[in-house]
Structure 1
Amino acid sequence: MTVAVETGLWQLDTAASTVAIKHKSIWGLVTVKGAFTAVTGQGEVRPDGSAVGTLTLTVASLDTKNPKRDTHLKGPDFFDADNHPELTFAVRSAELRDGDKVHVVGRLTARGISRPQTFTARLTGADADALTLDAEFSVDRNQFGMGWNQLGMIARLTTVTTTLRFIRTAA
């Protein structure tokens, strides 16, 4: 990505990484916030500076601070954790552009449905042993079979916010 980011294999530092969601509900009057507490990932920075990798979220780890809502979100109306226990994001290409901007192209898989997802992340820290990426992007839940919407109360788009810290593991 840059001269400061070494080529080789990188592992997600789970203690220093977060994946959170925000979603408008009750006709836009309430913002539901939550986070996935079980996230794993790895990547590779290639000699040409591009990167590839995978991020995996355990659906059962979603916590919105409301157990009843969490049970509903993990159930068949939304994530269907019993049949699809993980969400994955496969990074097909990540390239540094315009200073600290990282153009990310990949595939998001939820409920067994994969869709392309492209967004811009920001490289907020990088040295020979660690790098940190911050990103915020929107996902249309209807594209993943999560169209449940009692009385039209729930917006289609969910905002995903991440801080991902990777530690270099090998050359």
Structure 2
Amino acid sequence: MSVAVETGTWQLDRTATTVALKHRTMWGLVTVKGTFTTVDGHGEVRADGSAVGTVTLDAASLDTKNAKRDTHLRGSDFFDVDNHPEITFAVRSAELRDGDQVHVIGQLTARGVSRPQSFTARLVDASADAVTLHAEFSVDREHFGLGWNQLGMIRGLTAVTASLRFKRSAA
């Protein structure tokens, strides 16, 4: 897909956006999956075609379909939502390359810790009024102070999957 996305401001369409994670636990025997139910964001496409913006997750909105586990994940062993209610990804640069590939460079902040993060997203749909990106990348939770690991049950990286739909902001 070769598309020139219109310059200007764009707002995340919360109803058409999903951000999910999965992580293997119980010594690799179980995969925990969860979805953030509250996501917000905005972006700006610049005249040179590059983009900047921010995606914000309500850390307390993570839903793994297990209330006891979700309560633990919101607590001080993990996200510590009382002190760090949001997880943010600040996009410093997003550039369309090689057809539908979008090279993204930014900074991920979780639990008050910020780390650089880059990945390649895929432009899956684009029109004059809406753009949809799909991204998959891995995060080392220990880099963000999420190191709780009773009996060594939790190993490896956390996989993040995002389908982000942006709509053109009204002028």
TM-score (normalised: structure 1): 0.97
Instruction: Return the alpha-carbon distance in structure 2 between the equivalents of residues 39 and 62 of structure 1.
Output: 10
Offset at 1:3?
4.5
Secondary structure (helix, strand or coil) at the match of 2:103 reads strand
Aligned to 1:122: 122
Aligned to 1:87: 87
Instruction: Return the alpha-carbon distance in structure 2 between the equivalents of residues 32 and 65 of structure 1.
Output: 10
Indicate if the aligned counterparts of 2:3 and 2:126 stay in contact, CA closer than 8 A: no
Offset at 1:155?
1.7
| 1:31 partner letter | T
Instruction: Return the alpha-carbon distance in structure 2 between the equivalents of residues 148 and 67 of structure 1.
Output: 18
Instruction: Return the alpha-carbon distance in structure 2 between the equivalents of residues 164 and 103 of structure 1.
Output: 15
CA RMSD of aligned residues (A): 1.0
What are the ranges of 5 or more consecutive residues in structure 2 without an aligned counterpart? none
Instruction: Return the alpha-carbon distance in structure 1 between the equivalents of residues 66 and 3 of structure 2.
Output: 44
Secondary structure (helix, strand or coil) at the match of 1:15 reads helix
Aligned to 1:34: 34
1:43-82 correspondence runs (5 A): 43-82=43-82
Offset at 1:147?
0.6
Secondary structure (helix, strand or coil) at the match of 1:55 reads strand
Indicate if the aligned counterparts of 1:8 and 1:170 stay in contact, CA closer than 8 A: no
Indicate if the aligned counterparts of 1:88 and 1:109 stay in contact, CA closer than 8 A: yes
1:17 aligns with 2:17: yes
Secondary structure (helix, strand or coil) at the match of 1:83 reads coil
Offset at 1:170?
4.5
Instruction: Return the alpha-carbon distance in structure 2 between the equivalents of residues 153 and 97 of structure 1.
Output: 40
What are the ranges of 5 or more consecutive residues in structure 1 without an aligned counterpart? none
Instruction: Return the alpha-carbon distance in structure 2 between the equivalents of residues 82 and 149 of structure 1.
Output: 21
Aligned to 1:102: 102
Instruction: Return the alpha-carbon distance in structure 2 between the equivalents of residues 43 and 96 of structure 1.
Output: 15
Indicate if the aligned counterparts of 1:142 and 1:156 stay in contact, CA closer than 8 A: no
Indicate if the aligned counterparts of 1:56 and 1:86 stay in contact, CA closer than 8 A: yes
1:158 aligns with 2:158: yes
Secondary structure (helix, strand or coil) at the match of 2:109 reads strand
Offset at 1:4?
3.5
Secondary structure (helix, strand or coil) at the match of 2:76 reads coil
1:132 aligns with 2:147: no
